[in-house]
Amino acid sequence: MSGEPAHGYALGDRVRIVDLGKPGHVRTPLYVRDKVGVIDHCCGSFENPENRAYGRVGRERIPLYRVRLKQRELWPDYEGAEDDSLVLEIYHHWLRPA
């Protein structure tokens, strides 16, 4: 969408959203930590909010991905359909190949 080529991950890659155990401002919610999903979209690169939140602006841009996960794998008691999914945006450094 921003016209930048993807770095590192491609559409359909399986990825794990790791728990970096990082204190302070992060945009990776707890409910997806240590969960596995697939790359749904390569969003391009953005400044890291973990820097910006502390006034460190104008730093390097890092790739952002939309990651799609199965709801049944996110919630042990999920009551919806088998195929129900959740998609959210995760920065490159929170991902590892799965």
Partner 1 sequence: MAERLITDVGGLPADEVPRQEVPQLFWEKHMIAMFNVLWSKGVFNLDEFRRAVEQMTPKEYKESSFYGRRLDGMTNLLVEKGLVDRDELAARTEQIVREGTRDHVR
Partner 2 sequence: MDHSDHEHDHDHGHHHDHGHDHAHAPHPTREDDDVALSHGEAKFLALKGLLIEKGILTADDIRRRLEINDRGTPHQGARMVARAWLDPAFKARMLTNAKTAARELSIEVTEAELMAIENTPDCHNLIVCTLCSCYPRSLLGEPPAWYVSKAYRSRAVREPRKVLREFGLSFPDSVEVRVHDSNADLRYIVLPMRPAGTDGLSEADLAALVSRDCLVGAALPGRSAT
Which positions touch partner 1 (CB under 8 A)?
A: 19-26, 29-31, 33, 49, 52-55, 57, 74-75
For the CB of residue 47, give the shortest distance to partner 2 in the complex, in Å.
9
The Cα–Cα gap between 5 and 22 comes to: 28
* Token code pair at residue 44: 């391009």
Partner whose footprint covers residue 82, from partner 2, partner 1, none (CB < 5 to 8 Å by kind): partner 2
Least distance from C-beta 39 to partner 2, angstroms? 14
3-state class (DSSP) for residue 21: coil
Choice between 20 and 98, CB closer to partner 1: 20
> What is the rounded distance in angstroms from the CA atom of residue 52 to the CA atom of residue 68?
26
Beta strands in 1-98 (DSSP E): 14-17, 35-47, 61-70, 85-91, 95-97
Which residues contribute to the site for partner 2 (CB under 8 A)?
1-2, 27-29, 31, 43-44, 46, 49, 64, 66, 68, 71, 74-75, 78-91
